[in-house]
Structure 1
Amino acid sequence: MKKIKQVLALVLVLAVLGGLFFVAWFGIGASKDGSMHDIQFGLDLSGGVSITYQVEGENGGNPTTAEMDDTIYKLQRRVESELGTTEASVYREGENRINVEIPGATDEIFATLSTPGNLYFIREFNDEGEANYVDNSAEIYGMSLGIYELAEGVTIDSLKESGDIILEGKDVAGAQAGIMTQNGTDYVVELTLTDEGKKKFADATTAAVVNHDTIGIYYDGEFVSVPTVESAITAGVAQITHMSSYESAQSLASTIRIGGLDVSLTELRANVVGAQLGSSAIHTSKIAAMIGLALIVLFMVIIYRVLGVAASLALGFYSCLVVILLSAFNITLTLPGIAGIILSIGMAVDANVLVFSRIREELANGTEVQKAVKSGYSKALSAILDGNITTLIAALVLGLRGSGTVKGFAITLALGIIVSMFTALFITRIITRVLYNLGFKDEKYYGKAKAAGSIDFVKRRNVFFAISCAIIVLGLAVMGVNHAQNKGAFNLAIDFAGGTSTTVVFDELPSTEELENDIEPAIIKAANDADASLNVTSISHQVVEGENTVVFKTITLPEPSRSAVEDVLETTESYAVSEVTYESISATISNEMTKDAIVATILALILMLAYIWLRFRDLRFGASAIIALAHDAAMVIMCYAFTRIEVGSTFIAAVLTIIGYSINDTIVTFDRIRENQHNVRTEDDLKELVNKSVNQTLTRSLFTSITTFIMVLCLFIVGVEDIRTFALPLMIGVIAGTYSSICIAAELWFIMKKKSMSSAKAAGKADKNGKKTANA
């Protein structure tokens, strides 16, 4: 009877897994909600909307560089907040145009990104309480929201001359919808003003209270709100109260944020464009993922037997849950997002490997299987929590403080970490218990840990340090040589350096295969042949939906290369071209976005250091971990320097991926040192402690690295060119992260600990000698 219950339990587990797989693959209902088919892919994987704006400066002329940069950054942040996507691309086109590219092609996107007008706060009522500027203003006096135009004959210029424009959009730092519940529910819009706007608004509202004025908020030809001023507002923070609903508060806050641009934007064109990485990118990524998962399952079953079967089933739960959650929360998945998922898969397996290693150690010590399983989970818990929480801290900070690619990476990484902890700590354990109760009770089904090795890692520390330093120095030398030869220290992609957008109008649109296999190589060859100093290594294209137009993007093409490309396009017999135009485009990753990424990374490292210090009660652990992270990041960067792979948006994702992977690996080694750290009195004791701990966790570190490496290797072998150039630095990073956890981090802690022990010993000796002198 008991065995029947366990069979039913296993059937239930498999049924739930099957149900999750059905939902993940086929979705729910005709809409495919919750399925892989419903996942929103980014511009690089599936295309989206491209909108181009003509920009006029504050005084009506051409915008300054500062105005363009500020507008690009504000548009980037606005798209993120209004449309909930972190994967928009905003960049300069030519001298006075801005291009905004957003994943997907919905009516909401077109409506939200329709021509952003200018925002003004206008003193609306005069001293006698008579309406100045709003048509039918008596009907909306005191109301929170109305859509009304300026009175006949009144213009913005005349309002500026009369001094009745109190604030402009540039004076507003932020606007957010909110809910107040002190005296019932009240929906509000909270405004934050700049320092200059604070002073202006203080003067205006002080006078408005005396004169019973209202202040109309005027945007893009309409009054969108005409609130009453109830008191002087001098702190630079204001509230518009009594909104009809939270949605209307959100709408008004959105309008105010949109209007906070220093320039005027006029929409020139709006198109639906195709994927930047080509049609095969998603297909090959899926194949790579399936092959990688199959190889991981095979590896886990061979190495860990019954435990491997349990982990493989749990990995199936993990994969299905991630797909369902990506779809359910409308998370936009891009190439960097795939990196975050790959990392979390490695960490999901890592948690299982940690537990299994502990179980096998207990079995080797003679513990009965059931007790060994319980003890294994108990002893591995602290390392699992510390490793995942440390990485989760980094993901949360990057998500909150970062923008664009960084935020997208952080979201998928955080999601993956949470799901992986759930499946590793609960699902795997449940399945293991069911399999045990089904009759797999003999320890031969689980295996025993072999005795830990006796490699003297501490003795070889200087060799390890020298190898790392040599690679970094050699990489810096290569960067210096390339810079001296005017090639640039790195091969910067258009994401960082800008480039040339070549728009080609064909008489008949070529197929995807012709674009990728014939036309793109021809453009690259023509551009490089025309200018010996040029090194075009990659190109992307976007097809404009409903037209015979294709936009090719490359690094900056000088005039000889542009002419050569145009000649090739216009003289090829296999297709006909009616028009070729060129535009210079700016970097899609702005200086502000780069600063956001740097600040977020530094803050994440500080918080990670603080957490490790708090948990291990030894700052040396945190310092060693951060230095090891810097080492791993440097190794990834050196990979880009040596190979001359283009440094684009995926560069940031690659570095962050390895930081997240490496810290988890290092924490496991430190956790074992903390566990073994007792009765350490001499340098020999300290050396034995570090060597013992590293040897005990060596197998686990190697196995985790193998499973993560398998996933990335599959992407490298099966993926398209852009994915391969992303996978290569990740493979180098996985190797570097494993190397630093074994050969760098623990050895650095040994050096710091040894120094503190020597200092404490010297201080004690001095104190002892001092007492002897005093007694004498």
Structure 2
Amino acid sequence: MKKTKRKAVINLIIFFLLLAGGIYMAIAGVGQNESGKTANVPLGLDLQGGLSVTYEIQDEKPTSDEIKATVDKLQRRVDAYSSEGEVYQEGNDRITVEIPLNTEKVDAHDVLDELGQPGQLLFLDSENYTIWQQNQNNGTNDAYEAVLTGSDIKNAQAGVDDSGTVKDYVVQLQFTDEGAQKFATATAANIGKPIYIIYDGAVASAPTVQSAITDGNAVINKISSYDEAESLASTIKIGALPLELKQIQYNIVGAKLGQKAVSTSLIAGAIGFGLVCILMIVLYRFPGFIASLALTGYVVLMLLILSIRHITLTLPGIAGIILSIGMAVDANVIIFTRIREEISAGSGVRAAVKAGFSKALSAILDGNITTLIATVVLMILGSGSIKGFAVTLMLGIVLSMFTALFVTKMLLNSFLELGVQNPKMYGKAKEPKIHGYVKNFKICGVASLIVIIAGLAFLGVNHSRIGKSLNYSLEFTGGTSTTATFAEDDVYTLERAESEVAPVIAETAGIDAGTIQIQTVEGNNQVIFKTSELTEEQSAKIDDLLKSQFKATEVDNQSISSTISGEMKKDAIVAIAVSSVLMLLYIAFRFSDVKFGVSAVLALVHDVLVVFAAYSIGTLSVGNTFIACMLTIVGYSINATIIIFDRIRENMRTQDSKESLEELVNKSIGQTFTRTIYTSLTTFIMVFVLFVMGVTSLKEFTFTLMLGIVCGAYSSVCITGPLWYTMKKKFSKKNA
């Protein structure tokens, strides 16, 4: 006995030391690099501000070496703006550039313009320049020969030459081995003559050759300023690409908006976490306190992994963490509910705890694995920030299973060994009230059908009212979105934005004012203007206009081509279909009954259609987060369904001969009812706080997520069990 108590004390000391150390590490970090410090977690562009642009490769069948060379050279170009900038390949024919920028100091449109559409770079001697110029002026296509092309340039860098009496700004060129040979031949033949550097159809510079250059390096001198030298060097570097690229999407986020998103989301998470811990203690007494300790460890572990593994945190990623905290409570609720049932059945506390963990294991594993299926589909088919949401949600699911099955178990057993065994501290499960869930199935089904039909009917209403069935956002329609933030004392209502701002934007961009969609954001004094796809020049003019004429404090932009939007629509449908099929197969395998899988998936379709109806009736914005919202609802709802199915399966093993199948299903739903309500409540609290305090881009996402949580609880209790019963009875009659 003394040994077990000593072991319990040691376990608790180790836990609290690790928890304290983890908290310290998360706050201050350790070592020279401050490893583990939360402040060092890399932030996505939506949280720190900056520019993201996606290019599409125009060359047919580019080789992997050409793509790699293009990415490498673009990365060197990006390094001039930020050491944290990233360039990476997406799919087979796209390259994305992400550059963190302080938009208060750097004009993101200037950067976007300089990145431009990396086209053709040519070095021409006088004779070939004349032919090229005639082609440009006359529209002819006479053949000319370039001295060098972009692929011959290895690097270009701005510099200052102080060797003379007057400071001279220069661009230092470095050629590839092949380029060095070409340039040596060309300069030897053109001493005293200019070499024209042409980028994307315009003459960037025309330096005169002083002497033959044979060492693979050259200097362009007599440039008027360092800024001009830097711009020319940048032009040469970005032009030195093996492939031609076309810009198809860009997004500019202001630094202020990102900072506000971080602070409000973190505060929302902290408040939600505190409320969940209080609720757990009120509902489950001492085990609720233990769960709060385990959840604290869970949060610390999450922060440390994000920091140590350098996982980029996005705004949807924060939403994923906050949602996963609510879901982490689920495993604890399942365990504690089982413990209470065992105590009510007459077991001692120690035996009840052991049985509670044992009986809860299969439900916890099945529920989390099915949720992981939806998350994996999101990671594979999602893009950009949605992948950030999927990464943190997946990490949260894995950590929640670890903390519930190992940390909570260790803490409970340790306190048991130290004498915390009073049943009153754990509570007893009350005898569940058995309602006629199966009997009321038709009523619930009709009610759901009315909501779904109303949602479908509103597709036609919306089409006649706003010209489209759903309020597709930029991601699904293509176009340009401009978000202007105004001073707090200068409020812009929808009417004021329509009458004062929209006509000026239309005139500046040369578009019809009637095509501009306007949306105001309550509480933030922001106005969002959605237009057809604008050029960079048009977008930059609108930015300047909003800041100079209408005194906007910050302007953010996003532009998406119709190509991207079409793919996103397709991905949304495929993601939901794939995840549903995979879940059906998993449930059918685990429960050895395809009827469990079919009824679960039909209930998921119900949940998706009800939330879809909310998007239709409320004309909510259907965009990239729509996919994440639907798949999260799918993953979350299936979790509650599996708990009920697990209880039905368990009760069938000990079914009394006098008990009908209908009574068994009703009893199983009643036994898991409190778990469904409590889990839904804790998750709802986390999401609700984020809805109230979060930034605009999260409000619609969290609103529909709250609706999905309520709908998921409803379908789990009122639809899935009765639906399985109905299918079971019909198939039994056919086989009889």
Partner of 1:648: 623
Partner of 2:362: 382
User: Alpha-carbon deviations, 1:576-635, whole Å to 9, x = none?
Assistant: 99xx99997536953334434433443332222111111100001111111111111222
**One-letter identity of the residue aligned with 2:310:** N
State which drifts further: 600-609 or 659-668.
600-609
Partner of 1:22: 24
Residues 365 and 357 from structure 1, CA distance in 2 versus in 1: closer, same or farther, beyond 3 angstroms? same
Find 1:37's aligned residue among 36, 39, 42.
39
| Distance (Å, rounded) in 2 between the aligned partners of 1:354 and 1:743 | 19
Partner of 1:347: 327
Find 1:661's aligned residue among 630, 633, 636.
636
| Distance (Å, rounded) in 2 between the aligned partners of 1:757 and 1:285 | 52
Find 2:317's aligned residue among 313, 320, 337.
337
**Residues 497 and 555, structure 1, Cα contact 8 Å, conserved in 2:** no
Find out whether 1:633 has 2:608 as its counterpart: yes
CA shift for structure 1 position 19: 1.3
Find 2:182's aligned residue among 135, 142, 152.
152
CA shift for structure 1 position 395: 2.1
Find out whether 1:703 has 2:705 as its counterpart: no
SS in 1 for 2:660: helix
Find 2:731's aligned residue among 756, 763, 772.
756
CA shift for structure 1 position 682: 9.8
Residues 495 and 576 from structure 1, CA distance in 2 versus in 1: closer, same or farther, beyond 3 angstroms? closer
Partner of 1:421: 401
Residues 718 and 539 from structure 1, CA distance in 2 versus in 1: closer, same or farther, beyond 3 angstroms? closer
CA shift for structure 1 position 28: 2.6
Partner of 1:737: 712
Task: Summarize the alignment of residues 319-718 of structure 1 with structure 2, pairs less than 5 Å apart.
Answer: 319-500=299-480, 514=487, 523=497, 526-527=500-501, 535-538=517-520, 554-556=529-531, 571-572=549-550, 586=561, 589-678=564-653, 685-718=660-693
CA shift for structure 1 position 319: 0.6
SS in 2 for 1:291: helix
Partner of 1:317: 297
| Distance (Å, rounded) in 2 between the aligned partners of 1:582 and 1:723 | 17
% identical aligned pairs: 43
| Distance (Å, rounded) in 2 between the aligned partners of 1:581 and 1:280 | 14
Residues 663 and 670 from structure 1, CA distance in 2 versus in 1: closer, same or farther, beyond 3 angstroms? same
Residues 86 and 408 from structure 1, CA distance in 2 versus in 1: closer, same or farther, beyond 3 angstroms? farther
**One-letter identity of the residue aligned with 2:182:** E
Partner of 2:286: 306
**Residues 363 and 642, structure 2, Cα contact 8 Å, conserved in 1:** yes
| Distance (Å, rounded) in 2 between the aligned partners of 1:276 and 1:605 | 40
| Distance (Å, rounded) in 2 between the aligned partners of 1:474 and 1:658 | 20
**One-letter identity of the residue aligned with 2:35:** D
SS in 1 for 2:621: coil
Residues 337 and 569 from structure 1, CA distance in 2 versus in 1: closer, same or farther, beyond 3 angstroms? closer
SS in 1 for 2:519: coil
| Distance (Å, rounded) in 2 between the aligned partners of 1:298 and 1:613 | 38
Root-mean-square deviation (CA, aligned residues, Å) is 4.7
**One-letter identity of the residue aligned with 1:461:** F
| Distance (Å, rounded) in 2 between the aligned partners of 1:428 and 1:348 | 12
| Distance (Å, rounded) in 2 between the aligned partners of 1:532 and 1:115 | 30
SS in 2 for 1:590: helix
SS in 2 for 1:41: coil
State which drifts further: 561-570 or 492-501.
561-570
SS in 2 for 1:451: coil
**Residues 480 and 533, structure 2, Cα contact 8 Å, conserved in 1:** no
**One-letter identity of the residue aligned with 1:43:** L
CA shift for structure 1 position 284: 0.8
SS in 2 for 1:366: coil
**One-letter identity of the residue aligned with 1:526:** E
CA shift for structure 1 position 494: 1.8
Structure 1, unmatched stretches of 5+, are 60-70, 91-97, 120-132, 135-145, 156-221, 223-257, 505-511, 541-550, 762-776
TM-score by length of 2: 0.69
Find out whether 1:720 has 2:720 as its counterpart: no
CA shift for structure 1 position 441: 0.7
CA shift for structure 1 position 744: 1.1
CA shift for structure 1 position 659: 1.1
State which drifts further: 6-15 or 468-477.
6-15
| Distance (Å, rounded) in 2 between the aligned partners of 1:468 and 1:528 | 41
Structure 2, unmatched stretches of 5+, are 61-66, 103-110, 122-147, 150-174, 186-215, 217-239, 505-512
| Distance (Å, rounded) in 1 between the aligned partners of 2:709 and 2:454 | 20
Count of aligned residue pairs for this structure pair: 585
User: Alpha-carbon deviations, 1:237-270, whole Å to 9, x = none?
Assistant: xxxxxxxxxxxxxxxxxxxxx9896x44699x99
User: Alpha-carbon deviations, 1:119-159, whole Å to 9, x = none?
Assistant: 9xxxxxxxxxxxxx99xxxxxxxxxxx9632663999xxxx
SS in 2 for 1:23: helix
User: Alpha-carbon deviations, 1:141-192, whole Å to 9, x = none?
Assistant: xxxxx9632663999xxxxxxxxxxxxxxxxxxxxxxxxxxxxxxxxxxxxx
User: Alpha-carbon deviations, 1:621-650, whole Å to 9, x = none?
Assistant: 111111111111222222222222322222
| Distance (Å, rounded) in 1 between the aligned partners of 2:23 and 2:557 | 47
**Residues 278 and 516, structure 1, Cα contact 8 Å, conserved in 2:** no
SS in 2 for 1:49: strand
**One-letter identity of the residue aligned with 1:608:** M
User: Alpha-carbon deviations, 1:11-66, whole Å to 9, x = none?
Assistant: 3322211111222233234644323212222222222334587x89669xxxxxxx
**Residues 465 and 744, structure 1, Cα contact 8 Å, conserved in 2:** yes
Task: Summarize the alignment of residues 95-110 of structure 1 with structure 2, pairs less than 5 Å apart.
Answer: 102=98, 104=100
State which drifts further: 275-284 or 418-427.
275-284
Task: Summarize the alignment of residues 16-165 of structure 1 with structure 2, pairs less than 5 Å apart.
Answer: 16-29=18-31, 31-50=33-52, 102=98, 104=100, 148-149=177-178, 152=182
**Residues 518 and 528, structure 2, Cα contact 8 Å, conserved in 1:** no
Find 1:274's aligned residue among 248, 254, 258.
254
**One-letter identity of the residue aligned with 1:387:** G
SS in 1 for 2:399: helix
Residues 86 and 676 from structure 1, CA distance in 2 versus in 1: closer, same or farther, beyond 3 angstroms? farther
State which drifts further: 561-570 or 722-731.
561-570
**Residues 295 and 710, structure 1, Cα contact 8 Å, conserved in 2:** yes
| Distance (Å, rounded) in 1 between the aligned partners of 2:322 and 2:314 | 12
**One-letter identity of the residue aligned with 2:608:** A
**One-letter identity of the residue aligned with 1:671:** D
| Distance (Å, rounded) in 1 between the aligned partners of 2:378 and 2:589 | 21
SS in 2 for 1:102: strand
**Residues 250 and 558, structure 2, Cα contact 8 Å, conserved in 1:** no
| Distance (Å, rounded) in 1 between the aligned partners of 2:670 and 2:368 | 22
TM-score by length of 1: 0.66
**Residues 527 and 564, structure 1, Cα contact 8 Å, conserved in 2:** no
**Residues 42 and 332, structure 1, Cα contact 8 Å, conserved in 2:** yes
**Residues 367 and 638, structure 2, Cα contact 8 Å, conserved in 1:** yes
| Distance (Å, rounded) in 2 between the aligned partners of 1:513 and 1:25 | 35
| Distance (Å, rounded) in 1 between the aligned partners of 2:178 and 2:628 | 47
User: Alpha-carbon deviations, 1:711-739, whole Å to 9, x = none?
Assistant: 01111222233322221111101001111
